[in-house]
Amino acid sequence: MDGQTPRWTDILAMARRAEEVGFDSLWVSDHLTRFGPVVKLGPWECWSLLAALAATTSLVELGPLVSSTSFREPALLAKMAATVDEISGGRLVLGIGAGWREAEYLAFGYPFDHRASRFEEALTIIRGMLREGSADLSGRYYQVSNAELRPPGPRPAGPPIMMGGSGDRMLRLAARHADRWNCWLIFGDSRPSAAIPFLDRLNAACAEVGRNSTCLLYTS
C-alpha cells in the first residue's frame, strides 16, 4: 500500500482474493490509533469494516482480533455482533478482550483502570444477550436493565466467542466462558512452542472449573 493505510477498495480486493484462494477466515484489528514508527497512519474503524466485509464475502469466517470491550458499551457491542452475524449469514466469530494500549484509551477518552473487572462485567452482558436473548446487570462499571436482543441473530446461541488475553484472571474467564482462545505472540517469540506455557496455564484453568480443555479451540 506504499506506506499508506489501505483504502476500502484495496481491502475489498484483498478480502475477495483471500476467499478465492481458500483462506478460512479474515480478521480485523480493533484499534483507534496506530502504534509503531509511522504514527501518522491510522486504522479504519473495526466494526464498520466487518459489516462491509460481511456483505461482500460469502465463505470465510470473519471477526475482530480482538475487539476491546471498553471501546463500546457491551450491550451495544452484542447488538453489533448479532447484526454483523446476520449480514454474513452466520460467519462471525466474536473476538473480545480487555485491551492493552493505554495511549489510545487516553487519546479517545476511555478509562484504562480495572480492565479485567470491566471486561468481566462486559462479558456477562454480552453472553447474556447473545446466548439468552437479554441481560440484566447492576455492576460497578456497567448497568443494563432487561436489555433485549431483538431481533436475534441467525444462530440461536449467537456467534462463537473468542477471548484474547494471557493474564491469570483472563485465562480463568476463558476457561469458563469462551468457545475459542487466542494467544498473541507477536511481541515475543512467535514460534508455536512459545504458546505452550500459556496453553498449560489455560488447561489448568479449565481443570479448575471442571471443563475439558479440548472444548476450546486455540488460535495464535
pLDDT digit string (tens) for 89-146? 999 999 999 999 999 999 999 999 999 999 999 999 999 999 999 999 999 999 999 9
Give me the residues paired with residue 218 across strands.
Answer: 181
| Domains of the chain and CATH, by start | 8-164 (3.20.20.30)
Nearest to 39 by CA among 109, 96, 101: 101
pLDDT digit string (tens) for 47-74? 999 999 999 999 999 999 999 999 999 9
Average pLDDT, the chain: 93
Residue 34 pLDDT: 82
Residue 1 pLDDT: 54
| Res. 35 pLDDT band, cuts 50 70 90 | confident
pTM value surpassing 0.95:
no
Which amino acid, one-letter code, is at 106?
L
Q: What are phi and psi of 214, to 5 degrees?
A: -70, -10
d(CA 167, CA 67): 17
C-alpha cell at 12: 475489498
Contact between residue 169 and residue 152 where contact means Cβ atoms under 8 Å apart:
no
Give me the residues paired with residue 153 across strands.
Answer: none
Contacts of 30 (CB under 8 A, 6+ apart): 46, 47, 64, 65, 66, 67, 68, 71
| Res. 213 pLDDT band, cuts 50 70 90 | confident
Q: What are phi and psi of 27, to 5 degrees?
A: -130, 145
Contacts of 108 (CB under 8 A, 6+ apart): 32, 33, 71
| Res. 37 pLDDT band, cuts 50 70 90 | low
* DSSP of 37-90: S-TT--PPPHHHHHHHHHHH-SSSEEEES-EETTSS-HHHHHHHHHHHHHHHTS
Identify the top-confidence range among 19-23, 189-193, 215-219: 19-23
Residues 39-45 have a mean pLDDT of: 84
- What is the dihedral angle through the alpha carbons of 119, 153, 161, 68, rounded to the nearest 10 degrees? -40
Residue 184 pLDDT: 75
Residue 63 pLDDT: 99
The pLDDT of residue 199 is above 60: yes
